[in-house]
């Protein structure tokens, strides 16, 4: 728990203390409730799992399906409107901003044929997903990739890629200076 809270403080300059993060960050609460819901889903108590996930959604505005797989140190910043679908797989140290969807693209016909089929994205280690981005279908987002705000990703993303636009296109290589909101501090050279 201590490492998780420190990972948030390391990624968010607004985080002042671990106690503040525990008490006031909806993403922390959503991940906490997801761990409980996932336990019940894994034990095949699906109704209990869904009730817990819906209670968490009510409290936080973040919807995480109980069967989604989440690694260590997921940071959901702000969080309102985040949706993480059932077969999503999120690795370690991923950062997701508000209004992000990790969704499926399967139509609602033949639902029985779609159960137990991978329908949602896989995000590898250290991925950053900017606000409003939509990652749709069973795509794979490679390690250290950056998804810009409001991008729509429907194809696999290579490691270290920077994806922007609708549909998302690779515009470069990710660096530590990636700005998920595409806002700079004004010190960059003007063209």
Q: Is residue 159 part of a domain?
A: yes
Domain that holds residue 30: 2-173
Spatial distance between the Cα atoms of 138 and 89, rounded to a whole number of angstroms: 10
Give pLDDT tens digits for 116-130.
789 999 999 999 999
pTM of the model: 0.86
Spatial distance between the Cα atoms of 122 and 90, rounded to a whole number of angstroms: 6
Q: Is residue 184 part of a domain?
A: no
Residue 105's pLDDT band (boundaries 50, 70, 90)? confident
Total structural domains in the chain?
Answer: 1
Q: Is residue 145 part of a domain?
A: yes
Both tokens assigned to 88: 């999503």
Q: Is residue 89 part of a domain?
A: yes
- CATH code of residue 94: 2.160.10.10
Give pLDDT tens digits for 9-63.
888 888 889 999 999 999 999 999 999 999 999 999 999 999 999 999 999 999 9
């Amino acid at each position: 728990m201590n490492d998780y809270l420190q990972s948030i403080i390391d990624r968010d300059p607004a985080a002042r203390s671990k106690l503040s993060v525990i008490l006031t960050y909806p993403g922390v609460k959503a991940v906490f409730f997801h761990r409980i819901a996932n336990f019940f889903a894994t034990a095949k108590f699906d109704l209990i799992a869904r009730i817990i996930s819906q209670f968490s959604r009510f409290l936080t505005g973040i919807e995480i399906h109980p069967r989604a797989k989440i690694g260590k140190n997921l940071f959901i910043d702000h969080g309102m409107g985040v949706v993480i679908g059932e077969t999503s797989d999120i690795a370690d140290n991923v950062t997701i901003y508000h209004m992000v969807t990790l969704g499926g693209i399967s139509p609602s016909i033949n639902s029985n044929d779609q159960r137990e089929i991978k329908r949602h994205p896989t995000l590898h280690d250290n991925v950053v997903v900017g606000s409003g981005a939509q990652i749709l279908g069973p795509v794979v987002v490679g390690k250290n990739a950056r998804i810009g705000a409001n991008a729509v990703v429907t194809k696999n993303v290579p490691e270290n890629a920077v994806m922007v636009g609708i549909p998302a296109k690779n515009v470069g290589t990710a660096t530590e200076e990636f700005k998920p909101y595409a806002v700079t501090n004004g010190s960059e050279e003007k063209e």
